[in-house]
Chains A and B, each alone.
Chain A
Amino acid sequence: MVKELELSTNEKELIISGLKEGIRLDGRGIDDFRSLKITLGPEYGRSEVKLGDTKVLAKVSCEVARPYPDRPNEGMLTLNTELSPMAFAGLEPGRPSEEEVLVSRILEKAIKINRAVDVEGLCIVANELAWSIHVDVHFLDNDGNIIDAACIAAISALSHFRRPDVTVIGEDVTIHPVDQRNPVPLSIHHTPICVTFAFFENGDLWVVDPSLKEEQIRRGDMIIAINNHKEICVLSKAGGLPLEMLTIIQCSKLAASKVDWVREKIQDAIANAAEVEKRKTLREIIIDD
């Protein structure tokens, strides 16, 4: 299958010489994210994230299942991050690529292993019934930094999601359909958000939120996930260029401020979606009358 075109030597040199002066191809500074747009709704748990030209769609869904025998008091959370040739031309469908493994592993670490979602709260009857929450992340367009975009999409979709309400009386379990009783949000312990850095040359040059072209010529990368308590949840430095200690500290400080900015955006999106939902219900009431 065709591989993505490699950058020409001239393009590489242009990017590097620009970085030396602190300028990037798209005009941002080295510590700037691209514009971030998060759209939630119309249904619960659907989030569309645009980070520059990178587009990711996340959809959260739920079903009732039997909990794992070794964890009878816990619900399940599964992340599905399958890449398609829509965002990755030349990808062979069916076989997981290196990139896919990396993305799913980081997301799994950031959200699942960090216990961002309260899985104990998903249990309905111990050993019998529990909610199984699925997060499907679809990559629509790739212009670099799909990990941050996917993480933002997954977290915002999880925060926006509502599951049907359940009542348990004795042994009787009633699951209330969404149109009969207001669905309930998931309880979320903390919200880890990833920030990706790319390093060039001998490690002195670095950028945050690399674009596709920058990713193609980077010599090392580092992903830091920080939650709302300003704790580092994931720090992934999977090979590549060796880094100075100081750079890592500097990067994590910057990441903390970026995460705050992203979280504000997510909160705005949630508030926006609530407003739209409210207006929609009002309109329906008026029409029905």
Chain B
Amino acid sequence: MASRKRPPSKIRTISIEPNYVNRDGSALFKFGDSAVVCSVNGPTEVKLRDEKVDKATIDVIFKPLVGLPGTKDKTHEYIIRSTVESVIKSNLYPRTLIQIVCQVMMDDGNILATAINATTYALMNAGVEMKDIAVAVACIVNKDGNILIDPELREIEKAQSYHTFAFSKTSFGLLFCESTGLFTEEQYFECYAICKIAAQEIIDKIRMKIQLDLT
């Protein structure tokens, strides 16, 4: 089997396509051959039962590439919702709904991280006010103890442990993390440090893309 063609700490080529679908805001975010398209509707009318008097209701739908949404996809919905809830200024939109739909377009690993980044860009594209932005990166620790960032599917299959981190831009704090597999404390902090550096790279990329689109 072909080995990894890029250095362990290098993420795959990122490409972003804003306004991918005709909604209030949308974006396609790609990490190499992993792609998620996210659309944002809102602020729009909310169902009475979901209405919150002091802030916006945030609803996330996550649709997998293959099959009907299952437990894993529901978990992704929950994670994306709680991550963006902490960055959206939802008190500016009381009694409204902000509906986020993520659709997986291509799956080559790290779908959750890709989806969080797509959501961030789509929210900005929709003009929803945020106090911060969230970016996410994933990495694995393989059997030799090496850390590979932004792994592909075939690398994830052989991983010892798998970690996804989401950081906020301004405070650069940890917004979300999820780890599976067996790992030591040092490995965890090492992953954290490496992902933080990669997150900065993604933020720069997003900034560049916005600059490019505005000029």
Contacts and interface: CB of A to CB of B under 8 A. Distances in A.
B21 A46 contact: no
Contacts of A138: 63, 65, 103
Nearest to A87: B21
Contact of B66 (A42, A61, A85, A86): A61
A80 B64 CA distance: 12
Interface stretch (B39-47, B86-94, B143-151, B188-196): B39-47
B166 interface: no
Contacts of A80: 67-68
B66 A59 contact: yes
Nearest to B44: A2
B47 A1 contact: yes
A134 interface: yes
A140 B37 contact: yes
Contacts of B66: 59, 61, 134, 136
Given A42-B33, A287-B5, A136 B65 contact: yes
A134 B45 contact: no
A14 interface: no
B106 interface: yes
Interface in B95-110: 99, 101, 103, 105-106
A48 to B, nearest CB: 8
Given A80-B68, A85-B61, A134-B67, A57 B105 contact: yes
Nearest to A42: B33
A42 B21 contact: no
B68 A82 contact: yes
A288 B1 CA distance: 10
A84 B102 CA distance: 10
Contacts of B1: 179
B55 interface: no
Interface string B18-31: 00111100100000
Contacts of B63: 82, 84, 86, 138
Nearest to B1: A179
Interface in A36-66: 42-43, 46, 48, 53, 55, 57, 59, 61
Contact of B101 (A55, A86, A134, A287): A86
Nearest to A92: B47
Interface in A70-105: 80, 82, 84-87, 89, 93
Give the contact-size bracket for chain B. Answer: 20 to 34
Contacts of A85: 39, 41, 61, 99, 101
Nearest to A2: B45
Given A80-B67, A85-B41, A287-B5, A42 B61 contact: no
B21 A55 contact: yes
A37 to B, nearest CB: 14
Contacts of B22: 53, 141, 143
Interface string B33-58: 10001010100110100000000000
Contacts of A82: 63, 68
Contacts of B23: 86, 89
A86 B21 contact: yes
B23 to A, nearest CB: 7
Contacts of A26: none
B2 interface: yes
Nearest to A142: B22
A5 B166 CA distance: 37
Contacts of A179: 1
Given A2-B45, A82-B68, 10 more contacts: A42-B106, A85-B39, A85-B41, A85-B99, A86-B23, A86-B63, A89-B41, A141-B21, A143-B22, A288-B2
Interface of B: 1-2, 5, 20-23, 26, 33, 37, 39, 41, 44-45, 47, 61, 63, 65-68, 99, 101, 103, 105-106
The 5 lowest CB-CB distance pairs between A and B, nearest first, are A141-B21, A86-B101, A86-B39, A2-B45, A61-B66
